[in-house]
Amino acid sequence: MLLNLNIQNFAIVRSLDIDWQQGMTTITGETGAGKSIAIDALGLCLGERATTNVVRPNCKKAELAATFDVQKNNSAQQWLNKHDLAIDHECILRRVISAEGRSKAYINGSQVPLVQLKEVGQLLINIHGQHDHQLIVKAPQQRKILDAYAEHQHLLDDVKYYHNQFKQLSSELTQLQSNKLQREAQQQLLQYQVTELDEYSLQQGEFETLEVDYKRYSNAQDLLNETLHTIQVLKEDESFNVIDSLKRCCDNLSSLKNIDKNLVNISTTLSESLVQIEDASDELRHYYDLLDLDPQSYAAIENRYSQAILLAKKHQIQPENLAEFHLQLAQELNNISSDESRLLCVIDEIELAKQAYLEAAQVLSKSRNKAAKTLSKFISLSMQELNMPNGKFAAQLLQDTSNAISIHGIDDVSFKVSINPGQPLEAMNKVASGGELSRISLAMQVILADKVVTPTLIFDEVDVGISGPTAAMVGTKLQALATNTQVICVTHLPQVASKGHQQLIVAKLTDGKCTETTVTELSSQGRIQEIARLLAGDKITSNSLANAEELLAS
């Protein structure tokens, strides 16, 4: 519930500090005194848009702070905990607005984005304005009212889910269909390319092996000639070869090292070199003997190597990347084939999503029909209690037969009323006057208030156009509503003001140079005087005072 509202330099308010009580609080005052100023300030604390003219003239900024007790408000506590803004059992919403129009928002002392004020505000207060009756003649608002009364948010969520699923699938189908011709042309090209590469079938790493073999075969004669010449120089030339000459050198040094020990290391190095050269010579002979440079093999290798070069050039890639490119094209071809299969699947899925939507929408429609009957009964009764003795109300549903998929379901909701005997039910804006619409709107708000989870309800002059016995019934209804909910009501009706457990009076003071609004809690005697003023105007009589006492006593 709302505990306190502090206002500094806001509009024509210099400074206000208002403590609020549980139950019903009524706010009264003369016309033009600014009875709604506290509601306007609360609206800014709840995240409404601010303008520069909200700051009191000649002041740098306006500061507004609303303190709420959230001990019994689980939704608000969960929200505050989720955003790490919880402090004990209080929630303080603060707004600072500069004269230039800049605005800052705070929750429990922490600066937050304005949207967070709106989010938490919806869990704390529900404000009904004096122009709400202008909205109830609009079809979207009528649907919202019926859905709020029915309390079937889970059914609305189901319809919304299948609606979104249907729309997403339909969008995917449109995209697949629009790309169909392009995919077919691309598929033909890819099929040709993949078939060509399939026939060649180059494996990963094969080109590197081909390149090595191709170089060896293309230099075959050089390999044979140079290898044989080297073998002869090293070992097989009878007139002179390296190994025989090195052996003689080793023998000579071996005999000399016994004479001079400085030759030992040199002799050892030469002996080791001799062993290595003999090994190399033997390996070279083995290589030469096994060197197979068959012309037919060379022709096959040359042909496959040349094909790889040509294919790589055709696709403008490096030959060593040809195998990987082949896999990539095959995957693209497979994806296109998958798109074609997906197109057929999407058509089936759309039909399933539509069927699921229609089933969910039918369940929602049944719930709306059930709620419509009860709501019609209650509002008809309330209309009769609010000085429309022959009033009848009907929430009618007409299912949309256009086969369109709407996020709100398949129902067109229409509120119809009959005011006079024998008058058929007609659309509200055709048969109800402004005052009658106000009473019907108020009846709805009181009935729907029981369905609202916010612990504080504010009614800002919703009783405009109501008087006499009707006003007394409105006051009684609001007072009954305040049994379980904090109700704040800005009113000009003495019958409503007298029903409050707490009454505040708004006054406008001026010294000729500046104007200031004050809000004061009335004592018991002060309430008698204010109710009498509402009854009789500025000239308060003994009769009006007696009537005021009677109203307060009742």
pLDDT confidence of residue 25: 94
- CA distances 245 to 235, 241, 278, Å, are 10, 6, 12
Residue 339 predicted with pLDDT over 60: no
pLDDT confidence of residue 447: 78
CA angle, residues 246, 252, 257, in degrees to nearest 5? 120
CA distance 517 to 530: 17
- CA distances 390 to 325, 383, 418, 422, 424, Å, are 83, 8, 8, 9, 12
> How many CB atoms sit inside 10 A of residue 109's CB?
9
In three-state form (DSSP H/G/I as H, E/B as E, the rest C), the secondary structure along 341-366 is HHHHHHHHHHHHHHHHHHHHHHHHHH
List, in sequence order, every residue forming a beta bridge with 486; answer none if it has no partner: 456
CA distance 128 to 400: 31
**AA identity, residue 220:** A
Q: What is the DSSP string of 147-192?
A: HHHHT-HHHHHHHHHHHHHHHHHHHHHHHHHHTHHHHHHHHHHHHH
Residue 366 predicted with pLDDT over 90: yes
Residue 139 predicted with pLDDT over 70: yes
- CA distances 210 to 43, 293, 317, Å, are 81, 14, 17
CA distance 429 to 426: 8
Domains of the chain: 1-124+454-522 (3.40.50.300), 183-336 (no CATH)
For residues 164 and 237, which has the higher predicted lDDT (pLDDT)? 164
Signed CA dihedral, 42, 43, 45, 50: sign only: negative
Mean pLDDT for all residues in the chain: 84
Summarised one tens digit per residue, pLDDT across range 309-334 is: 788 888 888 888 888 887 888 877 77
pLDDT confidence of residue 31: 75
pLDDT confidence of residue 410: 93
Summarised one tens digit per residue, pLDDT across range 525-545 is: 999 999 999 888 878 888 989
Q: Which of 83-87, 231-235, 296-300, 421-425 has the highest mean pLDDT?
A: 83-87
Summarised one tens digit per residue, pLDDT across range 182-223 is: 666 566 777 777 777 777 777 787 778 777 777 777 766 777
pLDDT confidence of residue 336: 65
Residue 132 predicted with pLDDT over 60: no
CA distance 310 to 296: 21
List, in sequence order, every residue forming a beta bridge with 351; answer none if it has no partner: none
Summarised one tens digit per residue, pLDDT across range 257-289 is: 878 888 888 888 888 988 998 899 888 888 877
**AA identity, residue 314:** K
Q: What is the DSSP string of 514-552?
A: -EEEEEEE--HHHHHHHHHHHHHTTS--HHHHHHHHHHH
pLDDT confidence of residue 166: 94
List, in sequence order, every residue forming a beta bridge with 515; answer none if it has no partner: 510
Residue 397 predicted with pLDDT over 90: yes
Report the percentage of the chain scoring pLDDT > 90: 31
pLDDT confidence of residue 528: 93
Cα-based torsion angle of the residue sequence 187, 193, 196, 198 in order, rounded to the nearest 10 degrees: -70
**AA identity, residue 464:** V
pLDDT confidence of residue 187: 66
Residue 522 predicted with pLDDT over 90: yes
CA distance 160 to 165: 9
| CB 516, CB 52: distance < 8 Å | no
> How many CB atoms sit inside 10 A of residue 62's CB?
23
Three-class SS state of 242? helix
> Global pTM?
0.61
Residue with tokens 């500025």: 538
- From the number of C-beta atoms within 10 Å of its C-beta (0-12, 13-18, 19+), residue 424 rates as exposed
- What does the pLDDT average to over 14-43? 87
Name residues whose C-beta falls within 8 Å of residue 72's C-beta, 6 or more positions apart in sequence.
455
Question: Length of the chain in residues, anyone?
Answer: 554
pLDDT grade for 445, boundaries at 50, 70 and 90: confident
pLDDT confidence of residue 404: 80
pLDDT confidence of residue 521: 92
CA distance 395 to 331: 59
CA distance 70 to 47: 18
Alpha helices of 407-451 — where are they, by DSSP H? 428-431, 434-449
